Structure 1
């Protein structure tokens, strides 16, 4: 194990220490299952208090980069985060930024359209009968008129996650999962009072039909229609909100 210790400034010490350890993991100086020095040893090396080290380790733990184990062979060890862990972290960060209006609706719509269009074209080539069946089940659930808005939105998210999975590209699916989980629920809940479910269901039906026909271009055309529709509904929701608060 090799851990380079660099002096840190006095402001935001826990964050800087956590960033140094995280960088050591990224560049390979620290590897999965390596044991970190104890809190006391780290405090001496960094010339900070133990509570500061404890806070830095909490930051790393929140990112699932380290794990603790008790007992004679215990200690703090470098974790091997799974793709799901990293996707969850990316989703959380993206959700926070979206909720703070860090991105415009145009940015969100364009990003989703670019990424999911690629997913659809790949899915048209690789989708299995089992995956088509799962999409059909989600579509049937969406057609249930007694479905609560949050249940409809959850089914919508699952529908688009299935498309990302069917692309059969691990990295693209990883990125797309984060986009879907972060952006779509917010977009759906904003527009749920304004969008017509029948429009979404019709669009999903045509996307499914296009995938059944292995026609990626047609599926992309329908997706573009859906993204445009949802963007307009979001703008309408914001206009109405501004009007009611005036």
Structure 2
């Protein structure tokens, strides 16, 4: 049975059509892998031109809600949710919010401490086989961070990979999605600001404590190490901003 859509006015018609189709996808009236009506059919149903429909479909494609396929059996189909795309969109939006000042230092530090703290507790409760891969990655990154020849950029990238492995160790898909914004967006932004004033040996010390605590399944010690790392990062962040203000003055 065809899905029924309400008529729309011509002002911002493409957005209204996209919103209407999106609602049908989100509430299940349009199922994953279901073929959408053709552009001509949609134009007739919404009483708009085909270019307007095409613009609406572009909006949905940009949101990864639909995908197109060529050929005799082609068309536009409802896309299966892609966690990587959704997480990337979240990280991009978070980076923008930091850039314009909507997310500040305290918010960044609090979110990181609370969310990664949950990861530590979940990871500490898991078995050896489940933690083998993420702990191995953390060991590799810790060793890499101790290399004297490592550039600042490489150290920051390793820092991100280390904490990404910590998130993986928790084994929670939803938490992993939410943490993408913290690890992939907030942490690199923080690193870019404080890398000139932080000491690598200090970061290595915090990371070593965190890793050792997880290896022994000591959630309390892991959370304490993380808290000290976040406090250190917060202090270095403020120091960097003060130095920047002094240079500007």
Give TM-score, length-normalised by structure 1: 0.92
CA distance in 1 between partners of 2:209 and 2:132 (Å): 17
Cα deviation for residue 10 of structure 1 reads 5.0
CA distance in 2 between partners of 1:188 and 1:177 (Å): 16
CA distance in 1 between partners of 2:184 and 2:124 (Å): 22
Deviations along 1:114-169, one digit per CA (max 9) or x if unpaired, are 11100001111215233322211010011112112221111111111111111122
Q: Map 1:1-246; keep pairs closer than 5 Å.
A: 2-126=2-126, 128-246=131-249
Q: 1:8 to 1:121 in 2, by over 3 A?
A: same
Q: 1:239 to 1:137 in 2, by over 3 A?
A: same
CA distance in 2 between partners of 1:14 and 1:190 (Å): 41
Cα deviation for residue 9 of structure 1 reads 5.0
CA distance in 2 between partners of 1:4 and 1:102 (Å): 40
Greater alpha carbon shift after TM alignment, 126-135 vs 106-115? 126-135
Cα deviation for residue 53 of structure 1 reads 2.1
CA distance in 2 between partners of 1:15 and 1:238 (Å): 41
Cα deviation for residue 58 of structure 1 reads 1.5
Please list every run of 5 or more consecutive structure 2 residues that lacks an aligned counterpart in the other structure.
Answer: none
Give TM-score, length-normalised by structure 2: 0.91
CA distance in 2 between partners of 1:49 and 1:96 (Å): 35
Please list every run of 5 or more consecutive structure 1 residues that lacks an aligned counterpart in the other structure.
Answer: none
CA distance in 2 between partners of 1:153 and 1:43 (Å): 50
Cα deviation for residue 223 of structure 1 reads 0.7
Cα deviation for residue 19 of structure 1 reads 2.1
Could you tell me whether the CA contact under 8 Å between 1:35 and 1:76 is conserved in 2? yes
Number of paired residues? Answer: 246
Could you tell me whether the CA contact under 8 Å between 1:2 and 1:30 is conserved in 2? no
Supply the RMSD in Å over aligned alpha carbons: 1.8
